Structure 1
Amino acid sequence: MASTKPYIGCKIGLLSKAQNRYEGILYTIDKNNSTIVLAKVKCFGTEGRPTDRPTPPKDDVYEYITFRGSDIKDITLCESPMCHHGLPPDPAIIQVQ
């Protein structure tokens, strides 16, 4: 399981087509519905990127946010693949709490 989705549990950055940047822990990817779910998500707003609707950063941390894949402009890895609390990538590991 871990080998087919090596970045589940890693901190990633996501930029929406609306120019808002989010950071959170990759929780799941649903290929059938073309969605990505992040956990413990922080919204940094548009950060000066050109847009018709500028958004300020939010202080809140959202437990989960589901993003529509077609509205994602960019995704970046904020941590190395060894993101499971310092453990090496191991297909035997299904989940780390």
Structure 2
Amino acid sequence: MSSAKPYIGCKIGLISKAQNRYEGILYTIDKVNSTVVLAKVKCFGTEGRPTDRPTPPKDDIYEYITFRGSDIKDITLCEPPRSHHEGFSPIM
């Protein structure tokens, strides 16, 4: 039985229940604790989605953010994982 997770390494878009949009690389999914961890994460804020607490976008890139499953409204695949050889240039 394979426990392969084909979306690990993919660029993911996530909207929190607070209506903030995040984009990052899917690092891990913890089914036991119901969490999703994204790496290299950018927060785009609420982008006009209806909320009592509008949030502007942030320029910071966060190394990792852990999201509880209960705080996630929507999650989408932005792009497939990159090939391990893409962008590789050996030093000669």
The TM-score range, normalised by the shorter chain, is 0.7 to 0.9
Q: CA 1:56 to 1:75, structure 2 compared with 1: closer, same or farther past 3 Å?
A: same
C-alpha distance in 2, partners of 1:29/1:66?
9
Higher strand share: 2
C-alpha distance in 2, partners of 1:54/1:41?
19
1:61 equivalent to 2:56? Answer no
DSSP-derived class of the 2:70 partner: helix
| Bigger radius of gyration among the two | 2
TM-score, scaled to structure 1: 0.81
1:10 equivalent to 2:16? Answer no
Count of aligned pairs: 84
4+ residue runs over 2 A deviation: 84-87
Q: How does 1:9-28 map to 2 (within 5 A)?
A: 9-28=9-28
Where in structure 1 are there 5+ consecutive unaligned residues?
88-97
Instruction: Give the letter for the 2:18 counterpart.
Output: A
Where in structure 2 are there 5+ consecutive unaligned residues?
86-92
**Corresponding position of 1:47:** 47
